[in-house]
Amino acid sequence: MESSQLNIGFGDNRVTTTEKFIAKTGRKNGQSNRLAPQDRAFHDWYRFVLSYPPHLVQDYLDKFKLAPNSVVLDPFCGTGTTLVEAKLSGMKAIGIEANTFPYFATSVKVDWSIDPENLLATAFEIESKTNDILKSQGIDDLLGLNSDHQDFVLKKLNPEAAALLLKDSISPLPLHKTLVLLDCLAEYKNTRFFRYMQLALANALVFKISNLHFGPEVGVKNPKDDSPVISAWSDEIKKITADLKSIAGKQYPTAEVFLADARNLQTFAPQSVDAVITSPPYPNEKDYTRTTRLESVVLGFINNKAELRGLKKTLVRSNTRGVYKNDNDDQWISENLEIQRLADEIENRRIQLGKDSGFERMYSRVTRLYFGGMAKHLAEMRRILKPGAQLAYVVGDQASYLRVKIQTGKLLSDIARVLGYELIGIDLFRTRLSTVTKEQLREEVVVLRWPGK
């Protein structure tokens, strides 16, 4: 059965079974996307819940047989999994990310140049100051608001920013404590430690302070009245400093991260990249900006709808909430008959089912725009790849649009071949259960080679 196969080698001969994968990594199919304990350093500072795992990057760094001076690019770098692994492997890493907060997070995660002891000492100062302020307001970080101060006015976000959040994503008292901590952090804005302290708070916000939970999409669980904020942030700082101490005295190459649109790479040097390992968005109804919305808003990276709209316009169109009137990436795949057939099938299914909402009417259009955007990206990539460069794109089949199956990997490989890439193979990484069709969908690695001129 397809769900029992896992091809770790290249090409179409899927001789590597789940049993061999378990023997090699100790991970079953359902565990293959999880972060292993030995891989937590640096990655665990801040990471998308559904990010692909470090061990997958390690596999392709090995398979590509890259030299220590190789340049590895991740044009959809998210929270920096590829960059961290490439740097740990002694290779120069370059990341491109259009979403503001993941770009910031990655830029911090690959900068290991600060003194961890000074970071820890500075954080201790801030922790003490913040706790003193809270105590003066009748608030204990662990015990909450003193009953004698129940009429105390809690700090809030400004209304424009608050309107961007999922309802009840953070409760009033934890938000107040977070905003007090942010005020104290602001006093250290001009120090080298500030960015690390911001990132520590972001990770604490998502996983310890907020009411968020993560499945196929981010949601809100039963709101809790309170949660520790200062201690949660302090724990994250300790984790960061421990990782930095673990590499004391070792030398690693630089890693650069750029806030940019992966469909426009004109500022990057020609023939400068040896390998690409990345995971672009998939064509579905997952709004990737919602995944980072809480930390983006609370920490001031997005402040209003106009800023959010501007951010979305720099992203590949992968869901109907990020489509705009003047979008025209679909022109890149106007002659691809299979994608046109697929989009028409989605539209015909919509009509047959009588689905008439504004979002449902855009399903066929976003399908064309997604593959057009990826075609534009792959066309741009040709200029910056060295002859013989190897590429690995982690993508997943989808069935979000009225249960019409989208074979993302196959379609991207067809686009790539038209653009002059060689298809080395499509490797099965894992299967996952579709919440829509209740069927197993493939998550694959499309492996390409750029022959050059």
What is the tens place of the pLDDT at every residue in 140-197? 999 888 877 677 889 999 999 999 999 999 999 999 999 999 999 999 999 999 999 9
Domain residue ranges in the chain:
2-110+255-283+300-318+374-450, 116-246
Q: List, edge to edge, every strand of the sheet that includes 71-74.
A: 255-259, 92-97, 71-74, 273-278, 385-396, 440-450, 422-433
Q: What is the pLDDT averaged over residues 4-11?
A: 35
- 3 burial via Cβ count (<10 Å: 0-12, 13-18, 19+): middle
Model pLDDT, residue 151: 72
Q: Please, which pLDDT band fits residue 97 given cuts at 50, 70 and 90?
A: very high
pLDDT at 23: 46
Pairwise CA distance, residues 68 & 91, whole Å: 5
Contact 209, 229 (CB under 8 A): yes
What local confidence, expressed as pLDDT, does residue 180 receive?
97
Q: How confident is the model at residue 36 (pLDDT cuts 50, 70, 90)?
A: confident
Q: Is residue 180 a contact partner of residue 230, using CB atoms and an 8 Å limit?
A: no
Q: What does the alpha-carbon distance between residue 56 and residue 412 come to, in Å, rounded to a whole number?
A: 20
User: In CATH, which of 3.40.50.150, 3.30.390.50, 3.30.420.40, 3.30.470.10 is domain 2-110+255-283+300-318+374-450?
Assistant: 3.40.50.150
Record the pTM.
0.91
CB atoms within 10 A of CB 40: 14
The average confidence (pLDDT) of the chain is 90
Residue 393 CA to residue 427 CA, distance in Å, equals 10
Q: Note whether 92 and 72 are within 8 A (CB).
A: yes
pLDDT digits (tens, 9 = 90+) for 273-311: 999 999 999 998 888 899 999 999 999 999 999 999 999
- Which among 53, 195, 35 is positioned nearest to 122, based on CA atoms? 195
DSSP 339-351: HHHHHHHHHHHHH
Residues 263, 380 contacting (CB under 8 angstroms)? yes
